[in-house]
Amino acid sequence: MRIHIATDHAGLEFSTQLQHHLASQGHEVIDHGPVEYDPLDDYPAFCIRAAQAVVDDQRAGVAALGVVFGGSGNGEQIAANKVEGIRAALVWNLSTAELAREHNDANVIAIGARQHTFEDVTRFIDRFIQTPFSNDERHVRRIAQIGAYERDGALVDGPAPRTMS
């Protein structure tokens, strides 16, 4: 599988170690930066490029996922989710890694490098990569609703908002 990786200065060491880990498992790893430590770097461009590459590969029929890192992973997840077709999930344990793929067909995982050990991070990412999407009808339906809104702002009718007084 092709794995696209991006980070900022907070995740640079993890990113380098992870690239070796994933390559040793036979994955093709594409690094979208940064390539050197800069405590003032900005993660959005790195993460958006990685996310766009995941979408481009998937549309071309190439099996691909993405991994984005930062201090908390929050900003990196937000940046990746700005790319149409990306479902980036913030992961903090094995269960969230598995459910991100199984229920949400997430194609990018976001992790806080300052929140976890490298051993935990590799376990989360390995589980994320190994877990298939369930294809359960309710999950397919929900993902389609998100995609429709992303494309053209279409919302499925639901109950009207309520005001509590």
What is the dihedral sign for C-alpha 152, 96, 57, 50? Answer: positive
Q: Where are the alpha helices (DSSP H) in 43-152?
A: 43-59, 74-80, 94-102, 118-130, 137-152
76 is catalytic: yes
9 is catalytic: no
Q: Which of 13, 98, 102, 103 is catalytic?
A: 103
Q: Which of 4, 9, 76, 116 is catalytic?
A: 76
Residues in contact with 112: Cβ distance below 8 Å, sequence separation at least 6, in sequence order: 69, 70, 71, 72, 73, 74, 90, 92
Q: Which residues are catalytic?
A: 76, 103
